[in-house]
Structure 1
Amino acid sequence: MTTSEPNEKQLLADIDALRSQFPQTQDLYREVCVLLFFRYGLTPTTNKLYQLVRKGSMSAPAEALNKFWEDLRDKSRVRIEHPDLPESLKTAAGELVATLWSSAQGAAQDGLETLRSEAQAQVAEARQAQATAEADRDTARASHARARQTLEQAHIRVGELEQALAARDATIAAMEGQLHAARGENAGLLQKLDDARRDFGLELEKVRTSASLAEERFRAAEARALMEIDRERTAASKLHKEMEGLRSNAEQAAERHRTELASLQEQLGNYRQRAGELEGNLKAVTASRDLAVDDLRAARSLLEDKHAQSVRTESLVADLRLQVEEAQRKIEEVGKANKPSRTPRKPKAVPQ
């Protein structure tokens, strides 16, 4: 904003303040003329006055404006009355004093314009600083929003990791149950294998006992056969066949037990392989759970870092807000310090 373009809001505010001080229409228009001419450096016109005040008829601002110019001319005209001075000297002296008054008024007006320019430059600089601070504040708010969004995403990630960890723990528990069941089943199979071995030993012992008894009977029969070869030949042959049958049965029973033993050993190998696979799966799931725990710790560390960044961002916003308030206070102090007087001082008349 330049000096030829006054602050419209400030001008209207000053006029509103004058309304309460000067309720009479002519007095109000006169004070507005003084305000425009001496404070804002504007030449008052009838239309301008009526647009700003909007009180009374159109003749009211014209009358007040004429009265203002007459008063201004009277104040700027200096009369020198002395009985001993010639008229020409009186006129020259009056013109000289009027010229000095006009020069002083112009110098004062120039100083006022300089002060006004400096004040407006300071105001513009302060507003620029305020705009920069507001931009920094908006940037900090955006960074804070992004940090909060990252924080919410980290919370969501932590929840997902906790859910995944709970699911994996449940899976591990289920696999441990399966492994426990497999171990129980393996123990049962081992017990069955021991029972089969024990039964096979008992059956083999029975066969051996039967063979021993048969062999003893055979020897007795053979002894009797030696005594009665002819008579007992048929009986000996029958006894021999009976012994062969017992041996065949014993061999078949032994073969059958060998087959069952091989089958049980094969099942035992399969269950041992299954137990090894379950232990491998358990190790893999345990490693996955450890990775999930590491991810959870990293997410919690990131969450703490984002929280610390959010605290620093809020501190920066508070500092910027204090700087903006300080700049506004300085602007108000400059405006109060450079506020000009409402009416010019009347020059002293030359003493008679």
Structure 2
Amino acid sequence: MNDVNSDDEIRQLILELMNQGLSTLEIYKKTCAILFYQHGIMPTPTRLYALVRKGSMSTPGKAIQEFLAQQKEKGRIELEIPEMPESLKTTFTEALKETWRIASQISSATAREQNEQHQRELNRFTQQIEQLDNKNQALESRIDEMAQILAEKDIHVSEMQKEIGEGKTKLSLESNRLAIATDQCEELKKQLDKARHDFIAESHRMSQEHEQGLARLKDHENRALMEIERERQAANKAIKDATNALKLREDELRQRDDKLLELASELEESRRDLSAAKTKLEMTTANLQTIRISYEEQTRINGQLKAQLEQLSAKQNITHPKNSRRKTMKQIHD
């Protein structure tokens, strides 16, 4: 299962916890259990908050502390066997604590180093078991010797009968204790074998994931190189296209400059023609002004002459009306 599907599954479980009405701290603690037991992931405050997104940032840290304390309490195994040697009890307890500590750190980056330390502890514990077996054999030999001594002392049979019964009872109790200790040793061996098998399986899985990750990284690297090559080719093509476009633009600008020069020449010639036409227009305007002044002067003179003629005609009408009228008409006609 990949990381995305794993996160989706974890978020679905967290949503179900929220629907149960649990407190924020309990939700975080149960999320720790889901990560640790179901996915082999050591919970961290950042990952917890990213999954739950509830409460303050201090809540995930507190939840992790309580979760680890609970796991430590679960991992504390006390051997309650009467009259069992304290050294053996301490050895068993420490071995079980060490086994739990190693199992809780399988998913950490130092799993290999912890496994080596666990192997050393296992060897030491095996040696202690062998020493215990030797002691048991020595004790059994001692019991046999005591039985022979008791058999040889027939004269003390009546007096020692009670002591022998008590000794048998003690021997029976010790045998039971030894049997219980032996069973516990076997159980511990099974637990250690299971832990070792689980660790080897987890190491194999992590190795496969590492190889798959390297393969994915190589694939990503190849795709990135191909993408870079495509980008480089595209960039070269763009540069080439831009160069060609720039060359075409320079040709267009050169042609436009030539055209502008031609237009400038034509404009200069038109400006000269316009200047000549303006000079001619100014001269024509001056001539028209002169003609208009002359026309106005002639009109004024004609008016004066007409007035004088009317005065003369009036005088002649008074002296010779008919002749004057005919002359006047003739003059007017002329």
**Larger relative contact order (Cα-Cα within 8 Å, sequence gap ≥ 6):** 1
Q: TM-score, normalised by structure 1?
A: 0.36
